[in-house]
């Protein structure tokens, strides 16, 4: 008779990920202060992954997972997503923001100029969105929302790519933004920002409350009881 596999140990990373998701839910008004505090305390008591996952159930809709709340609203039906698109700035600039559907393959050109792509209210296609950036003596800023994984395979000469946004979410349906291209004496800056200052402030407050709860529980930063929550936004 085969012995059953031992249960997966709950690690500090597991707890931190749930703390970030709960903080994001609070920032988006999906949890009250009382609900947040109750669930944060349960994060550091949980002994199994199932217990941690149960803390991400939306109290207003038991069939919805808080961690997926924002992600689902950002996915566009495949049939309305353009196959290709181009944004360009030559000795000038461009800015794309607000609600829009990002093409599956978007080419971005900035020569002696620059621009900004704000994807926080945009809708992405399921799967991979290809973003090809060609920049010479210019710069491109890309703002990504939580719940989007970012991959970078671009090349830069006398310039660089700065990637400080994008999640490591394990959700199988999470959209992926794959950035490629070439930069010469130019840069591409990918960062994660919240839509509203109020949301950012509430998210920071939730992380502070989580740190206070962790301190009360006596969880050591290096053991399985949890590490201090990472400051990056990750629902």
Domain residues of the chain, as ranges?
A: 12-72+196-217, 77-192
pTM of the predicted model as reported, rounded to 2 decimal places: 0.56
Q: What is the pLDDT along the chain (235 residues), one digit of tens a residue?
A: 455 555 667 888 888 888 888 888 888 778 899 999 999 999 999 888 889 889 988 887 777 777 554 555 567 788 889 999 999 989 989 998 888 899 999 999 999 988 999 988 788 888 899 999 999 998 899 988 777 888 888 888 988 888 876 555 555 667 889 999 999 988 888 887 655 556 667 778 888 888 888 888 766 444 444 444 444 433 3
CA distance to 35, 169, 189, 233, per residue, from 152 (Å): 37, 16, 11, 19
Burial of 228 (0-12, 13-18, 19+ CB in 10 A): middle
Eight-class DSSP state of 232: S
CA distance to 20, 116, 149, 166, 235, per residue, from 169 (Å): 11, 25, 7, 9, 9
Look at the block and give the residue holding tokens 């085969």: 2
Report CA torsion sign: 169, 99, 63, 225. positive
H helix runs in the chain, sequence order: 12-27, 33-43, 49-54, 69-74, 197-217
d(CA 82, CA 111): 25
Total Cβ atoms within 10 A of residue 221:
10
In three state form, how does the secondary structure of 167-197 look?
CCCCCCCCCEEEEEEEEECCEEEEEECCCCH
Contact yes or no for 22/206 (Cβ under 8 A): yes
Element containing residue 230 per DSSP (H, E):
none
């Amino acid at each position: 008779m085969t012995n059953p596999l031992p249960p997966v140990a709950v690690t500090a990373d597991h707890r931190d990920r749930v703390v970030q998701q709960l903080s994001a839910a609070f920032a988006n008004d999906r949890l009250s202060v009382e609900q947040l505090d109750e669930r944060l305390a349960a994060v550091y008591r949980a002994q199994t992954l199932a217990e941690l996952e149960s803390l991400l159930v939306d109290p207003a809709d038991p069939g919805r997972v808080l961690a997926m709340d924002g992600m689902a609203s950002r996915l566009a039906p495949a049939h309305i997503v353009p196959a290709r698109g181009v944004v360009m700035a030559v000795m000038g600039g461009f800015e794309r923001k607000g609600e829009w559907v990002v093409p599956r393959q978007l080419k971005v050109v900035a020569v002696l100029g620059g621009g900004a792509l704000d994807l926080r209210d945009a809708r992405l296609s399921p799967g991979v969105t290809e973003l090809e950036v060609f920049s010479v003596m210019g710069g491109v800023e890309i703002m990504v929302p939580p719940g989007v994984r970012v991959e970078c395979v671009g090349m830069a000469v006398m310039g660089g790519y700065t990637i400080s946004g994008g999640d490591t979410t394990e959700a199988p349906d999470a959209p992926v933004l794959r950035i490629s291209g070439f930069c010469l004496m130019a840069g591409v800056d990918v960062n994660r920002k919240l839509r509203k200052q109020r949301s950012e402030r509430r998210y920071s407050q939730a992380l502070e409350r989580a740190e206070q709860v962790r301190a009360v529980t006596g969880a050591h930063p290096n053991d399985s009881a949890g590490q201090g929550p990472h400051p990056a936004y990750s629902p």
